[in-house]
Structure 1
Amino acid sequence: MTFGFCLSVTLLLLVWSTAKCVPVPDGAVHMECHDRYFKMAVDLSFAEGELRFEAVDETGVHPILKQYAAKCGYSIVPLPGHVELRASYFSCHTDNKGDQVFTFNFNLIVMHEGREVTYAVSKTCSPSLPWSPREVTCELNYMEVSVRSEVSCPSGTKKDDWNSLKAAHSSTTSDWQVMFHRAEEQLLPMNLSEARKQDYVLDLTDGRLLFRTPYGQPESFSTEVDGVPVEVVHATLFSRQSWVVLMVDMVAACSMFEGSYDHSGYVVWKTTAALYPSHDATQINIGFNGRLVTQPTAMERGYIIDKDNSTILISIPYNAEEAQRKSFVTGDLYEYYTFNFYLEQILVDDDHVETRVQSHRTLVTSLLPHAVFSDNLTVLEERIFSVYLRDVPEDVELAAVQLNGHEFTIPLTNASMHTVTEVVQPNSTHGYSLRVPFDSPVVINKFSKEDAVFQYSLDIIFTLTVMPENEPFYHLTSVVALFTDVSSPVFDAVCSESGISFKLDHQPFHYLWEISIGSDLLTSELAAQHGYIMSNSSQSLLLHVPLFTHGYEYKNVTLKEYFGTFEILVRDHETSEIQSSTVKTCPFNTTTELIVCSTDGRMTVVADLSPVVSSGVIPARTSLIREHCGPIEADNTRVLFSFPLHTCGSIIKVGRGNVTYRNEISYNKNNAVSTNTSERVTVQCTYPLAGLHRLFSVFRFESDAAGVGSINYPAQPQTGLHSPKTRYLPVFHPRAQNVRFPRVQHNSGVIRGPNGWS
């Protein structure tokens, strides 16, 4: 019987040409030749969903499904970030030339944009090491044993050998048959066709006899050797030729220990040197991803190889450089490490025949918690929340961030006030820097009046996803910025000849208060209404209050100078209660004329009599309507009167919506008292009626606002005295102490008091 295949090159090229039309993208597939197998790794980002493999030979295309892979010498291994296909040099559809040149042809089928795309891949390999007399491969899903086809006589014959020979000799057929041994039991022989139907592969190459079986076959058996679980398949291949029996013993034994994580930082795998009785271990080599490392190198990398009697223990640091890390979400974030582990044992029997045992195992740690940390790097002076999310694994990406309930996806838009910057770290992790200004609308702020503490707070939920599964998990943190000793706004004030200037340097918390002039909120409209000069930028507020504008209070008026006081109030934004004030009093030179109508019911007048002085008028001898009400102060041309509104003969007139208090300054010409009213200076103060309280029920004056005063001079062309002129001086002052005055009575709109008021 023939154990090989005759390849048809023409048919192979015909099949292969159907797949070669689509080239494989660069970097999507990585192929390597190893000592005893071929490896192809496919990047998962290249495939949309699952991918499939097909083996191609002269007989056609063969899908590599799970059971078929175990039967034919293929292993498909899912690993973090990629899928790996390993194919034995003796796999079913490999072109074998003299056991030295092996050609692999595969179809890689992936989904791309909703449709299947087939890529053809091919690789030719040659083993770098000569074949040992017996080679055993313990793969993830199958066992494979091959022996040299030249049979040499052993030095001794065992009892089991005689038992097998006895069964073979009693066979009535000359066809090749296989007989399995299970523990102490010897099963009935079966022909090769029947064996193939049960997924056993027996093949003859140019120089080797091959036997391969999936794990868990009915004819295999499990046992324990030195505390190590082992699966054994023992097959004897024989053929009876007349009185001669040809018999080949094929034994494969593999450690089925799955590996363990000892929670001390090591992944442990164990096997036994007693897999094959009468064999001594002469060499043990370990490796990863199909590449062996020397024992000194292994020790340098922290691997530990111990031997307890015949049990071999391999301890691998979980964070070794060969480990492949993967994130996993189950509520919180976890991680596990996968090792594509490779162990080679060189065994020698009593006849000095070498057996090479190669074990491939995928070792996986248990789920290990992986903490992601957030650091608050906020600097108060910058007024920006700065939060650094660190120790984020490489396969985890930031997808969104929630700030006090407001969701923002990554990347943020250019118009966003917030910034997120990725930061690469040297330990195979990365991080994200989040910056949110304190004045962002999403930031919550709160002011404690009792403690004078202002607080900014930000609750953050980072939404991270594990790639490529897009499995989300969340990291929550909160940051708070406290500003202590928060005080209300304070103005700087300076005096000038034209008035008083105020300056306020803006602070972040000033919006908690309102600025008012009296009861009126200071706005650009109010400033324009009252003649203030105001400019308000992001840095400061500048307010110049000219003399004689609304809000001034004038005191200590003399002919030389007087004092003007202006007050700016700071009110609570929510309650409008006065919290503080800035009061500035400045001396000003007295002008030639002046009238002040104060809220406490006093009129103060500086009148200029220079036009009539040349006619013999002596300012010091002037008086009001009541002659005994003379000037407080006089010089050569001016007089100063200051008197309560209801005294000195003042005339009170009630009009529509206002009340006017009027008096007159009388003077003598050439030492004669003038009785001509046209030669008198009229002074008056007018108050809005709505601002006066209890005017006709009590004997006191009380006004919310200062009155508007005027000085009217008589026309005297011969002396150059001009037409009446008026100076208006509205003055703001908090409600003054009440001033009592006599009860008044109405008389044709004129209010006259007793005792000679006129």
Structure 2
Amino acid sequence: MAFEICFSVAMLFSLWLAAECDDLPFEVHQVECRDHYVWAVVELAFAGEDVHFEAVDETGIHPITEEYAAMCGYTASVLPLSGLVELRSSYFSCHTENKDGVFKLNFNLLVTHDGHLVRYNFNKTCTPAAAWSPREITCEVNYMEVSLRNEVTCSSVKMADDWNDALRAPYTSAVSDWQVVFQRAGEQSMPMNVSEARKQGYWFDLMDERLVFRTPYGQPDSFSTEMSGVPVEVVHATLFSRQSWVVIMVDLVAACSMDEGSYDNGYIMWDIPDMLHPLVSGIYDTQVNVGVNGKLEEQPVAEQRGYMVEKHNATVMISIPYNAEGGYRKSLHLMGDLYEYYVFHLYVEQISMDEDDVNTRLRFQKTLATPLLPRPVFTENRTVLEDRVFTVYLGDVPEDVKLTAVQLNGHMYIVPFINSSGHTITEVVHDNHTHDYTVQVPFDHHVVTEQFSREDEAIKHMLDINFTLTVLPENEHFYHHTSVYALTDASPPEFEANCSETGIIFKMDHRPFDYLWFISIGSERLTPELAAEHKYNMRNDSQSLVLEVPLFTDGYQYKDFSLKGFLGTFEVLVRDHGTSDVQTQVTKSCPFSPKEFIACSTDGMMTVMVDLSWVVALGGIPARTNLADKYCGPKEADDTRALFSFPLNSCGSIIKLGKEYVTYENVVFSTKTQALKYPSDSSNIQGVKLQCTYALAGLHRLFSVYKFDSDTEGVGQIVHPAQSPEVQQEPIGFNEVLQTPGPAVRHTRPFVKQPPSQHIRVSSLVKNLPKGTRGATQLQVRYNGL
């Protein structure tokens, strides 16, 4: 038996009560009229997570609690991923004013600021753009809602017998007041009036043109079943009333997919049945539209984003790429690893057409989330060896993860690095909501460790990096570790050389692989014993080697002599430990300006600058002084000093030959003190005695040719006369003379041209000395100036 549903009901509302509160700042909220509800959001940073809403109408203020929201058509949510607090209010909600298809809604937002509860008001007036379908069903996240047009063409489909049996009891027990029965699994509840149903959480409302039924999920009168393999929650309510001899019965069925969704091969999938419920038969066409965040997308846009809607038998399968636009992504640190998940607020519209060309519009609001997906960041060694800089790339870092610190070989640095740290870090943000970091550390940075790799025969530079990454906004830390190394040719140690007033200072910082080389001065290896022998000052600790070479000690070379001074050059050699080959040499030249000096070269030149203050004190003039040969005068002179440079075997020099040494001696005379000839007893000379002493073992020729050739520089002495005013003030004994070994001073020509003579070995000359005098007697040979 078929029943004709023909009625017209009007419900009149006069709704408006202005709550005494502040208006919500427009820059922190947004309110929109959607197709079947009002959407309002407030920035989470403004509202906070402890936020509450109130519905306001002419009857007063009504707190929207969780239970009250499900019964009255409100959905309030805190959405931390989008940073919003959201309220969705059905146009048919309990406290909406509906007049001639215009819906007015008024709300309060309650937030806590600085410990005080503050109430803000916002409201909205909406006129839906699209006409209502004869049957509208909404599957919200917390309730189901059905609305029917009050004038519906009677169905041409004959009802089944079980349907007629189910309606017989309401028909026979109908009274004038509206009553309702709930049917499930072939059973039905006892009739109850609408007010009693509201007490149980059901909402029935007769509006201007529509009948509305709303129920929370999980009510005692709902039941779960499967439609085409999809779990569905169903509420089947029959509303009836006897009006005179006519019984009006309205069958209200809400069926919502309870599929929790699934994740497979990069897609979030959700299923809905093609047919709502067996009671709704005769459906021959179904259209499904998909969107997110309460808005449907046009078909081209949906396809571009990768949304797919496929029908398998009687099941509609919706698939969305997990990282498609419109979703929300969140990083999560769990048990030392980084994960991510994606959340979609899916919005689906299903339009079904029956045989009477009456359509049913079903709307779903469903929140779907992927499982936790591993989200590893990665590092890449982008070091270019020629740059001698470690370049390490940290990539695929999600936008809600920040690099906050970097540990380099145990040394912690907070990001961003300070400019003076010696290393750098740069960040690049990408359009795919990720960013990356590049850390650069020079090979010679103090945090980089080095060791010699015998396998590679190279220096191995090593850097251990531990990145500290922080997940926002929870500020949870996790770590990503990597190690890099680079091989470079083993380079000899490097010295830093600086001049001082008294000599040259060499400094070398130790490295772990410095044992591959050793340091030498000339051909002799630098040791503490050698330094002591040559009167070098050497300090060698775990950090560095410092060698101070005083002026006039062994190893110096001198040039550019003048009254202003000279250049002193000292050379340090770095030799291969295995072959003793010279790998590098560090040569440092420094200007020196001592009061007086003497240099005895390997090629037989004596260069001396003498302080003649005592001559001046006696009325003499330094420029008029001369050597033993009166024709050998100074090259340069000033008020108190004179510079002489001459071959050892000229200018009246005498030679004193001992067993192991030979000494060349000359004298600086003044016209005030000059003797007629060089006295045999040189201790009585009234002048400045000049001496150069050489080891016989290092001389290649002596008394044979006038080309002097010595392996080493001679030891020079300047001996002032005992009766000079200076000496009278500060007596200097013969054993307390200025003794200055000097380097080679090479001249292109001798001062005096002398005839060649035969080659005579010194050893033969000493051999022919009378017995008993070889060790004690000095052989004196006079070289007269020619």
| TM-score, with structure 1 as normaliser | 0.71
| Aligned match for 1:470, one of 445, 459, 475 | 475
Counterpart of 1:118 in structure 2 is 119
Q: Partners in 1 of 2:575 and 2:117 — Cα distance? A: 73
Counterpart of 2:268 in structure 1 is 267
Alpha-carbon distance, 1:369 to partner: 1.2
Within the alignment, does 1:41 sit opposite 2:41 as a pair? yes
What pairs with 1:365-444 in structure 2 (closer than 5 Å)? Answer: 365-413=370-418, 416-444=421-449
Q: Partners in 1 of 2:461 and 2:215 — Cα distance? A: 69
Alpha-carbon distance, 1:237 to partner: 0.5
Q: Identity across aligned pairs (percent)?
A: 48
Amino acid at match of 2:740: L
Q: Partners in 1 of 2:529 and 2:259 — Cα distance? A: 83
Conservation of the 8 A alpha-carbon contact between 2:75 and 2:88? yes
Q: More deviation in 156-165 or 229-238?
A: 156-165
Residue 195 of structure 1: SS of its match in structure 2? helix
Conservation of the 8 A alpha-carbon contact between 2:29 and 2:43? yes
Alpha-carbon distance, 1:328 to partner: 2.0
Within the alignment, does 1:88 sit opposite 2:90 as a pair? yes
Alpha-carbon distance, 1:340 to partner: 1.7
Counterpart of 2:717 in structure 1 is 710
Q: Partners in 2 of 1:300 and 1:419 — Cα distance? A: 41
Residue 68 of structure 1: SS of its match in structure 2? helix
Counterpart of 1:729 in structure 2 is 740
Counterpart of 1:219 in structure 2 is 221
* CA separation of 1:684 and 1:212: change in aligned 2, threshold 3 A: same
What pairs with 1:240-259 in structure 2 (closer than 5 Å)? Answer: 240-259=242-261
Residue 93 of structure 2: SS of its match in structure 1? coil
Residue 238 of structure 1: SS of its match in structure 2? strand
Q: Partners in 2 of 1:63 and 1:708 — Cα distance? A: 109
Counterpart of 2:74 in structure 1 is 74
For structure 1, the 5+ residue unaligned runs are 493-499, 532-542, 556-563, 596-608, 616-631, 651-661, 687-704, 718-722, 734-738, 740-751
Residue 551 of structure 1: SS of its match in structure 2? coil
Q: Partners in 1 of 2:569 and 2:416 — Cα distance? A: 57
User: Deviations 1:424-446 (Å, cap 9, x if unpaired)?
Assistant: 11222112233334444444344
Conservation of the 8 A alpha-carbon contact between 1:610 and 1:637? no
Alpha-carbon distance, 1:365 to partner: 1.5
Conservation of the 8 A alpha-carbon contact between 2:425 and 2:437? yes
What pairs with 1:294-693 in structure 2 (closer than 5 Å)? Answer: 294-331=298-335, 332-413=337-418, 416-447=421-452, 453-489=458-494, 549-552=552-555, 567-568=571-572, 582=585, 590-591=605-606, 612-613=628-629, 634-635=649-650, 637-641=652-656, 643-644=658-659, 674=680, 678=684
* CA separation of 1:56 and 1:419: change in aligned 2, threshold 3 A: farther
Q: Partners in 2 of 1:522 and 1:54 — Cα distance? A: 95
Amino acid at match of 2:322: Y
* CA separation of 1:586 and 1:29: change in aligned 2, threshold 3 A: farther
* CA separation of 1:44 and 1:378: change in aligned 2, threshold 3 A: farther
| TM-score, with structure 2 as normaliser | 0.69
Alpha-carbon distance, 1:590 to partner: 0.9
Residue 591 of structure 1: SS of its match in structure 2? strand
Counterpart of 2:287 in structure 1 is 283
Alpha-carbon distance, 1:144 to partner: 0.4
What pairs with 1:140-179 in structure 2 (closer than 5 Å)? Answer: 140-155=141-156, 158=159, 159-171=161-173, 173-179=175-181
Conservation of the 8 A alpha-carbon contact between 1:180 and 1:234? yes
* CA separation of 1:716 and 1:181: change in aligned 2, threshold 3 A: closer
Counterpart of 1:627 in structure 2 is none
Q: Partners in 1 of 2:509 and 2:682 — Cα distance? A: 60
Q: More deviation in 447-456 or 315-324?
A: 447-456
Alpha-carbon distance, 1:243 to partner: 3.0
Q: Partners in 1 of 2:530 and 2:392 — Cα distance? A: 39
Q: Partners in 2 of 1:252 and 1:592 — Cα distance? A: 119
Q: Partners in 2 of 1:671 and 1:290 — Cα distance? A: 124
Alpha-carbon distance, 1:487 to partner: 1.9
Alpha-carbon distance, 1:376 to partner: 2.4
Amino acid at match of 1:729: T
User: Deviations 1:361-393 (Å, cap 9, x if unpaired)?
Assistant: 112122211121222233344444332222111
Counterpart of 2:21 in structure 1 is 18
Counterpart of 1:745 in structure 2 is none
Amino acid at match of 1:271: I
Q: Partners in 2 of 1:236 and 1:672 — Cα distance? A: 149
Alpha-carbon distance, 1:287 to partner: 1.8
Q: Partners in 2 of 1:420 and 1:633 — Cα distance? A: 67
Counterpart of 2:132 in structure 1 is 131
Alpha-carbon distance, 1:222 to partner: 0.7
Conservation of the 8 A alpha-carbon contact between 1:452 and 1:486? no
* CA separation of 1:314 and 1:473: change in aligned 2, threshold 3 A: same
Q: Partners in 1 of 2:269 and 2:76 — Cα distance? A: 23
Counterpart of 1:497 in structure 2 is none
* CA separation of 1:78 and 1:202: change in aligned 2, threshold 3 A: same
Residue 441 of structure 2: SS of its match in structure 1? strand
Q: Partners in 1 of 2:249 and 2:394 — Cα distance? A: 68
Q: More deviation in 390-399 or 404-413?
A: 404-413
Amino acid at match of 1:144: E
Q: Partners in 2 of 1:73 and 1:283 — Cα distance? A: 26
Q: Partners in 1 of 2:401 and 2:681 — Cα distance? A: 103
Conservation of the 8 A alpha-carbon contact between 2:606 and 2:692? no
* CA separation of 1:175 and 1:583: change in aligned 2, threshold 3 A: closer
Residue 740 of structure 2: SS of its match in structure 1? coil
Q: Partners in 2 of 1:213 and 1:366 — Cα distance? A: 30
Alpha-carbon distance, 1:251 to partner: 0.8
Residue 253 of structure 1: SS of its match in structure 2? strand
* CA separation of 1:29 and 1:472: change in aligned 2, threshold 3 A: farther
Q: Partners in 1 of 2:444 and 2:530 — Cα distance? A: 23
Residue 303 of structure 2: SS of its match in structure 1? helix
Q: Partners in 2 of 1:126 and 1:136 — Cα distance? A: 19
* CA separation of 1:310 and 1:321: change in aligned 2, threshold 3 A: same
Q: Partners in 2 of 1:664 and 1:148 — Cα distance? A: 136
**What's the C-alpha RMSD, in Å, of the aligned pairs?**
5.0
Alpha-carbon distance, 1:231 to partner: 1.0
Amino acid at match of 1:638: S
Alpha-carbon distance, 1:239 to partner: 1.1
* CA separation of 1:716 and 1:361: change in aligned 2, threshold 3 A: closer
Conservation of the 8 A alpha-carbon contact between 1:488 and 1:510? no
Alpha-carbon distance, 1:198 to partner: 0.9
Q: More deviation in 206-215 or 351-360?
A: 351-360
User: Deviations 1:147-176 (Å, cap 9, x if unpaired)?
Assistant: 012354433552355335422233274211
Q: Partners in 2 of 1:205 and 1:416 — Cα distance? A: 73
| Aligned match for 1:183, one of 182, 185, 188 | 185
Conservation of the 8 A alpha-carbon contact between 1:372 and 1:391? yes
Q: Partners in 1 of 2:13 and 2:569 — Cα distance? A: 116
Alpha-carbon distance, 1:182 to partner: 0.5
For structure 2, the 5+ residue unaligned runs are 1-7, 498-502, 538-546, 559-567, 588-599, 611-624, 632-646, 668-674, 694-711, 725-731, 745-762, 764-771, 779-786
Conservation of the 8 A alpha-carbon contact between 1:267 and 1:363? yes
Amino acid at match of 1:728: Q
Conservation of the 8 A alpha-carbon contact between 1:336 and 1:364? yes
* CA separation of 1:256 and 1:611: change in aligned 2, threshold 3 A: closer
Amino acid at match of 1:301: R
Alpha-carbon distance, 1:130 to partner: 0.2
